[in-house]
Structure 1
């Protein structure tokens, strides 16, 4: 592989495995074998990786107060206010959690770790109005993002956020709730067609008693567990939840399902089933080692083929993080990132349903594309953005009221500052406009793009013009 190909391939690798790469780093890494770059991405520093927006002590104090209030038939005005204050505090913490993760992605030195966390966040889609539970689940996904899939699956399944979201807290002996067992097989492991309705029913009985306590810890309630025999995948025994998970993982279809979703996320919206089969074989043989799987995926020649480059639409979060990292953007009012997520259709910690965000071409419609094309110039020039939609789920009613009172869009100052000195210092002084465009874009620079930037004298103007092109939406 020549130097030019290596340069292009490493740029592609970092666009998909992370959120882009700085030009000096790209020059340095392109001198090495691509296997070294992959190894670097997979080598993660685990120090201080957890989000800690809300502490266990804060959570326990809130729970203690709420437990006392919930035990009363009638509340005094002060007690009602106390409960309302906790709700407001939790809403604020939920926003802080969102912004904390976005900021982590923008500044992280472990881009693959955060990209994998983003993948698992969509795979194990979950909504929780309790920010402590949401934070717990996010940290589980991060801590196990490149570990073992069984460990990840078990910890997610035992998390209060997921147990509550899929109603397993109500799954009891004699009154099984099938919601969790159904989604476990349909969306998290096997996919449709690889289990029966009876398997769902028997699995639900096996997961009876899986619950959590007031401290937010997993708790197995023996009295609520159905200890009778169940028949699952043709095998009969007194199975519990972990035994069901073991039997699901024993099926090669699980490895295939996970690898297909990873392929769609990292490689191509239209999976090549031969490539998926190849990956799934390795994944299954290596006992669901996620890091080994990602090494295989990023090392495959087909990952760097023209068919698989410059063809994926960046998700809203990928787009915002990529832009912010690329130009060293800081936000004096980071709440704008929540407004942008909501308007673009990917509000972290608030997936549309348990299936997560559909992704692919659904990220783009005529309205969202126009907004996407505006955002780079507004962020890089600290402009003002008109929002026709809601800025924040919690503020929806306020904005609706504003619309009734004033027939004009909601306006928000971006309050962003790109570090142009730092950005421009990354490039040689004699760099051509087309060379900068080739670095910023994943699709090749064609005549149309060259003509658009031909009149730009300064690299800054070229950068703004290029990031405002539809091609910048692709990676």
Structure 2
């Protein structure tokens, strides 16, 4: 299996890691065939729709205290449903590549909605377009209630323009800081006046609220609408470069190689912002498999949790504990810290989160107790206030059932302990870990040692 190292690296970046079952399927594939297989497995879009009912949270909180309490409970319940449904799907779906890219786009177009239905609509857009056309996705995101609400475009009206969305569209979503002027922001905001949504969460262009006067944007003048602004931005190759640079950090290395990013931008721009040709170019590039790009990225908390689920087929008796994992590790889906999203990379690691990162995998696989210390996300406090006996320090028995029989039986009998470790970890194995591997009483004990190692935190 001369290509195993490359294929393993490919799946760790284009998905959430290989299982020993995947190893059997990849035994006779070339790297190019493995790339094609990833796209084939992710070709079909399957919706995730745990939320069946919409409700107006904003109106509810204007009611009496009882209504506010019930609204907060309902909102948090729906948020958990959507969160856990996606985590479960990422951990079980055959199409890893679509979900890995949807996770990227979910953070790229970061927003926090006040209605869970709007979060679900946004996720649908990102998952459906994850391997499609970036410009199409950008237009749909721009018209989604979650984004219109989060960046105040619902209040962007003729004569009283709100610049929040216009600014972030350029700074964070498309062309990047330094490639537009403050005047461009002002003119763009005027073009987006009248964009809003109705009580049913449907996009509405409110013509009476739209500034239909001439606007000058990036050197062009016309009676521009929001769609025109997006068209002009996407005519600039810098947009392809900005997104390619961000994708390089997500898929390849935190330190971008300008020549490689330029080549990616060429492919992306010439493909009219189709995402699939860009990813195919990256995954088939020789430099993608350079040693310096292997085992060098810190797994995000979601990647860590999902990777464990895929590897060990874990059933959680109390799925809510997955929410607690996300909180203590610093990444609660649909709750980014701000419009810039999670910075990622080495920022995932600090003294507190590293302790939990080392503890959680072994606890999950061994059915142990874990002590969660720390306050909840500020927006969780309304929900937590409704719970009885909520303490700052919470001792929880994780109550998981990993399928050890399935895992152990999937390991080829010919593999030594060292080979098993080399397959499960992306970085090179240290001397200290090698000693622990060889000292383990059995394979199960050794595997628990592996997932508790710093090396397991890297992809």
TM-score (norm 2): 0.95
1:331–1:222: structure 2 CA closer, same or farther, 3 Å change rule?
A: same
1:104–1:398: structure 2 CA closer, same or farther, 3 Å change rule?
A: closer
d(CA) in 2 for partners of 1:351 and 1:100? Answer: 18
| Match of residue 304, structure 2, among 316, 319, 329 | 319
Q: What residue number does 2:15 align with? A: 18
d(CA) in 2 for partners of 1:107 and 1:91? Answer: 24
Aligned residues of 2:370 and 2:398 also touching (Cα < 8 A): yes
Counting only pairs closer than 5 Å after superposition, residues 100-249 of structure 1 correspond to structure 2 as: 100-249=85-234
1:66–1:439: structure 2 CA closer, same or farther, 3 Å change rule?
A: closer
| Match of residue 458, structure 1, among 442, 447, 451 | 442
Q: Deviations over 1:57-113 (max 9, x none)?
A: x21xx34x976x79xxx96x6xx5345423321221011111111111111111000
Q: Which runs of 5+ in 1 are unaligned?
A: none
| Match of residue 281, structure 2, among 251, 275, 296 | 296
d(CA) in 1 for partners of 2:42 and 2:176? Answer: 33
Aligned residues of 2:73 and 2:386 also touching (Cα < 8 A): no
| Match of residue 399, structure 2, among 396, 410, 415 | 415
Superposed CA RMSD? 2.3
User: Shift of residue 228 of structure 1?
Assistant: 0.4
d(CA) in 1 for partners of 2:285 and 2:160? Answer: 48
Q: What residue number does 2:411 align with? A: 427
Q: Which runs of 5+ in 2 are unaligned?
A: none
d(CA) in 2 for partners of 1:269 and 1:204? Answer: 33
Aligned residues of 2:51 and 2:81 also touching (Cα < 8 A): no
Q: What residue number does 1:333 align with? A: 318
1:306–1:432: structure 2 CA closer, same or farther, 3 Å change rule?
A: same
What SS is found at the alignment partner of 1:425? helix
| Match of residue 250, structure 2, among 265, 283, 291 | 265
Q: Does 1:445 align with 2:442?
A: no
What SS is found at the alignment partner of 1:118? helix
d(CA) in 2 for partners of 1:268 and 1:23? Answer: 26
| Match of residue 345, structure 2, among 340, 351, 360 | 360
d(CA) in 1 for partners of 2:381 and 2:413? Answer: 48
Q: Does 1:377 align with 2:362?
A: yes
Q: What residue number does 2:327 align with? A: 342
Q: What residue number does 1:390 align with? A: 375
User: Shift of residue 51 of structure 1?
Assistant: 1.8
1:405–1:337: structure 2 CA closer, same or farther, 3 Å change rule?
A: closer
TM-score (norm 1): 0.92
Aligned residues of 1:279 and 1:293 also touching (Cα < 8 A): yes
Aligned residues of 1:268 and 1:312 also touching (Cα < 8 A): yes
Counting only pairs closer than 5 Å after superposition, residues 68-107 of structure 1 correspond to structure 2 as: 81-82=66-67, 84-107=69-92
User: Shift of residue 29 of structure 1?
Assistant: 1.5
